[in-house]
Amino acid sequence: QKEVEQNSGPLSVPEGAIASLNCTYSDRGSQSFFWYRQYSGKSPELIMFIYSNGDKEDGRFTAQLNKASQYVSLLIRDSQPSDSATYLCAVKDGSYKLIFGSGTRLLVRP
Amino acid sequence: GAGVSQSPSNKVTEKGKDVELRCDPISGHTALYWYRQSLGQGLEFLIYFQGNSAPDKSGLPSDRFSAERTGGSVSTLTIQRTQQEDSAVYLCASSRDSKDGYTFGSGTRLTVV
């Protein structure tokens, strides 16, 4: 059973701080990794993807991948109250199916 | 269209009735997926369509669930003899090909009473 694990949270950070969201996965054959943001009552929205070890930056977001440790993280710099949402980590094993974690709820305090 | 369109947005049905959920993917997207999200839970894979290939139905929870995709575009998920445990948000997603991340529709919230 391929699994993706996330701490359910909530992770509470003050406005302007860096929020660090973490995810581990069980399948060493996993090849691509995605972060989705889901606001309450809404559908998931793709915000980042990463395929190679290291960091990938997009604006205030940085995705980090360590395949040896089977670990993916998402950093959100200068966190804003509008970033408050559930963040879903998803892993693809080289085929087509995304396996989702259960998500981490982020609260950014004004 | 500009995004993945799902209908209806909400559906309340009586236990034992059949329901049909519709998904219209982004134009040109060959891959289409159905997922289910129960309250407070993660996303559960149901079925995958890619072009004219045979679908991957491995996530369908029982034989009461079926799906089809006509003309490589619109998809319909059918649940027969609905049960209360079928209550969830049913999410459709599409992608340009199977390697890309998905774009989700706004979902259909199904409530079985």
- Summarize pLDDT for A15-47 with one digit per residue, the tens: 999 999 999 999 888 889 999 999 999 999 999
What's residue B1's pLDDT?
54
Name B88's bridge partners: B110
CB within 8 Å: A98 and B103: no
| Residues 74-93 (A) with a CB less than 8 A from some CB of B | 88, 90, 92
Nearest-CA distance B94 → chain A (Å): 11
Instruction: Calculate the alpha carbon distances from A54 to A9, A42, A50, A94 in Å.
Output: 25, 31, 9, 19
A38: distance to nearest CA of chain B, Å? 11
Whole-angstrom distance, CA of residue B49 vs CA of residue B29: 11
User: With contact defined as beta carbons under 8 Å apart, do A2 and A31 qualify?
Assistant: no
Query: Which residues does chain A have within 8 Å of residue B103's beta carbon, measured at their own beta carbons?
Result: 46
Q: Please report, to the nearest 10 degrees, the dihedral formed by the alpha carbons of residues A94, A98, A99, A102 taken in order.
A: 150
- Total residues found in chain B within this entry: 113
8 A C-beta contact, residue A74 and residue A62: yes
| Per-residue pLDDT tens digits for B16-47 | 999 999 999 999 898 999 999 998 778 999 99
Residue pointed to by tokens 């129960």: B38
Q: What is the mean pLDDT of residues B48-67?
A: 93
Set of chain A residues whose Cβ sits within 8 Å of the Cβ of B99: 32, 92, 96
Tell me the HSE value of A35 on the side-chain side, using a 13 A CA sphere: 29
Q: Do the beta carbons of residue B4 and residue B103 sit within 8 Å?
A: yes
CB contact under 8 A, A101 and B99: no
Share of chain A above pLDDT 90, in %: 82
User: In this predicted model, which residue has the larger pLDDT, B82 or B70?
Assistant: B82
What's the pLDDT at B41?
Answer: 79
For chain A, the DSSP string reads ---EE-----EEEETTSPEEEEEEES-TT--EEEEEEE-TTS--EEEEEE-SSEEEEETTEEEEEETTTTEEEEEESS--GGG-EEEEEEEE-SSSPEEEP--EEEEEE-
The reported pLDDT for the residue numbered A97 is: 86
CB contacts of B106 in chain A (<8 Å) are: 42-43
Q: B97: which DSSP letter?
A: S
Give pLDDT < 50 ranges for chain A. none
Residue A53's pLDDT is what? Answer: 87
d(CA B75, CA B69): 4
> What is the nearest CA distance from A77 to chain B, expressed in angstroms?
23
